[in-house]
């Protein structure tokens, strides 16, 4: 594998720092609190391209543009490398995986709308592999991609009958999550050790937190049992690479006794114990987990400027910003202030 040279690394890092300087992360997050209406948030984030739309139409339009904005920023950095490492390409292609999840959910009937209702797809240029222009022809969309045989094996392929496609949104999401993280973990260890010192720590934490969050959701909302949950969790590694396993997922800990969680790896991210009854809150954990990963990336961004670590942290910060902006817009749409949204997300305004 041909690695980026020093000049390419320096240019990419300088460009990434410039983008971060204009992003709503770190010290710039509190600026969002000035927006009390969707139109004000639109002008704040898109000063040169805001839309004059009714509020009910503006929200979905803004959410789409938040995603396009983040993906374009990430793509601009990956494009700095004529032959970017597969690891960086996969980080960008997280949007393709997410779009394919949405498409499969509509086709399977797990998401409202049906095959005639086209989801919104993010443009990734030369890094796109799925032909979303062929929607809703699934066979044509995934032909020649890694997803063609994978979807057949998982029972979601175009040759599967209607009953096997209708397996539910959970299976669709977790199957693609497992494929994505397994490929990402493998690609990480194709990089030299000097390029992945911080990235390895953050990505391992992300996979562990993802498994914990899914376990809480499946136990709380779907009453799934231990053995059923295990098939939805991510494991990766082997063949000379460190192994990531779901062993620290809270499969057995009681959901109604916080004292029993003492000593668990991610205990500090659980909702606080109140006097009297306590119940584990999956949404609270998901928010604090996202904040934990954001803090790790923000801290590590400038530790090793010209390594792939810095680019990885940049990408994670842009994805967090996208989630923050989307949550802020949805909160305003529900009549909340942005400060209230930040409070729910455990983000300091």
Tens digits of residue pLDDT in 297-332: 999 999 999 999 999 999 999 999 999 999 999 999
211 and 292 fall within a common domain: yes
Q: Would you state the pLDDT for residue 163?
A: 41
173 and 107 fall within a common domain: yes
7 and 48 fall within a common domain: yes
In sequence order, the 6+-apart residues with CB closer than 8 A to the CB of 84 are 4, 78
CA distances from 304 to 64, 77, 78 (A): 33, 17, 18
CB 324 within 8 A of CB 31: no
Q: Where are the alpha helices (DSSP H) in the chain?
A: 6-21, 38-45, 55-78, 86-92, 94-108, 138-142, 146-154, 162-165, 169-188, 197-221, 226-230, 282-300, 308-333, 338-345
Domain that holds residue 229: 200-302
Instruction: Choose between 91 and 276: higher pLDDT.
Output: 91
237 domain residue, yes or no? yes
323 domain residue, yes or no? no
238 and 259 fall within a common domain: yes
47 domain residue, yes or no? yes
Q: Would you state the pLDDT for residue 117?
A: 67
pLDDT at position 290 over 60: yes
Tens digits of residue pLDDT in 229-287: 999 999 998 877 888 889 899 999 999 999 999 999 999 999 998 767 899 999 999 99
Residue ending a domain, choose from 68, 83, 98:
83
Q: Would you state the pLDDT for residue 1?
A: 64
CB 209 within 8 A of CB 267: no
Q: Would you state the pLDDT for residue 161?
A: 45
In sequence order, the 6+-apart residues with CB closer than 8 A to the CB of 269 are 209, 285, 288, 289, 292
What is the rounded CA–CA span in Å between residue 258 and residue 268? 11
Q: Would you state the pLDDT for residue 305?
A: 93
Tens digits of residue pLDDT in 198-229: 999 999 999 999 999 999 999 999 999 999 99
Average pLDDT (137-156) is 91
329 domain residue, yes or no? no
Per the structure, how many domains does the chain have? 3
35 domain residue, yes or no? yes
The mean of the pLDDT values for the chain is: 91
219 and 175 fall within a common domain: no
What is the rounded CA–CA span in Å between residue 103 and residue 134? 11
Q: Would you state the pLDDT for residue 141?
A: 97
Residue ending a domain, choose from 191, 216, 250:
191
263 and 290 fall within a common domain: yes
Cα dihedral 314, 316, 320, 325 sign: positive
Average pLDDT (24-38) is 95
CB 323 within 8 A of CB 94: no
DSSP per residue, 280-309: --HHHHHHHHHHHHHHHHHHHTTTSTTSHH
Residue ending a domain, choose from 83, 105, 135:
83
Q: Would you state the pLDDT for residue 113?
A: 56
Coil vs helix vs strand at 5:
coil
Q: Using a pLDDT cut of 70, give the percent of the chain over it.
A: 93
204 and 163 fall within a common domain: no
Q: Is 76 left (phi over 0), alpha (psi -120 to 50) or beta?
A: alpha
Residue 198: φ, ψ to 5° = -80, -35
Tens digits of residue pLDDT in 164-206: 443 367 887 899 999 999 999 999 999 999 999 999 999 999 9
102 domain residue, yes or no? yes
CB 81 within 8 A of CB 4: yes
90 and 180 fall within a common domain: yes
211 domain residue, yes or no? yes
317 domain residue, yes or no? no
Instruction: Choose between 108 and 277: higher pLDDT.
Output: 277
Q: Would you state the pLDDT for residue 91?
A: 98
Q: Would you state the pLDDT for residue 346?
A: 83
Q: Would you state the pLDDT for residue 244?
A: 87
109 and 159 fall within a common domain: yes
28 and 114 fall within a common domain: no
Q: Would you state the pLDDT for residue 299?
A: 96
């Amino acid at each position: 594998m041909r690695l980026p040279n020093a000049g390419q690394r320096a240019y990419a890092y300088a460009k990434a720092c410039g983008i971060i300087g204009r992003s709503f992360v770190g010290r710039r997050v509190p600026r969002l609190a000035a927006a009390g209406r969707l139109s004000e948030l639109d002008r704040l984030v898109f000063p040169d391209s805001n839309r004059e739309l009714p509020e009910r139409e503006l929200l979905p339009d803004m959410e789409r543009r938040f995603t396009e904005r983040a993906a374009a920023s990430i793509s601009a950095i990956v494009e700095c490398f004529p032959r970017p490492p597969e690891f960086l390409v996969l980080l960008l292609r997280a949007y393709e995986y997410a779009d394919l999840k949405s498409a499969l959910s509509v086709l399977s009937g797990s998401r409202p709308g049906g095959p005639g209702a086209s989801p919104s797809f993010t443009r990734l240029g030369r890094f796109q592999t799925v032909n979303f222009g062929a929607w809703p022809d699934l066979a044509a969309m995934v032909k020649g991609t890694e997803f063609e045989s994978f979807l057949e094996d998982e029972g979601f392929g175009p040759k599967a009958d209607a009953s096997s496609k209708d397996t539910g949104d959970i299976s669709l999401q977790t199957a693609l999550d497992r494929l994505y993280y397994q490929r990402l973990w493998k690609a990480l260890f194709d990089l030299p050790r000097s390029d992945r010192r911080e990235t390895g720590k953050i990505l391992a934490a992300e996979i562990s937190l993802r498994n914990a969050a899914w376990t809480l959701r499946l136990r709380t909302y779907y009453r799934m049992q231990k053995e059923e949950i295990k098939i939805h969790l991510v494991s990766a590694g082997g063949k000379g690479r460190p192994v990531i396993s779901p062993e620290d997922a809270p499969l057995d800990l009681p959901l109604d006794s916080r004292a029993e969680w003492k000593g668990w790896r991610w205990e500090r991210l659980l909702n606080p114990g109140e006097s009297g009854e306590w119940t584990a809150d999956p949404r609270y954990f998901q928010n604090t987990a996202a904040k934990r990963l954001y803090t790790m990336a923000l801290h590590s961004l400038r530790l090793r400027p010209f390594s792939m670590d810095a680019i990885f942290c940049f990408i994670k910060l842009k994805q967090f910003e996208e989630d923050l902006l989307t949550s802020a817009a949805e909160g305003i749409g529900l009549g909340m202030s942005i400060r209230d949204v930040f409070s729910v997300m455990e983000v300091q305004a």
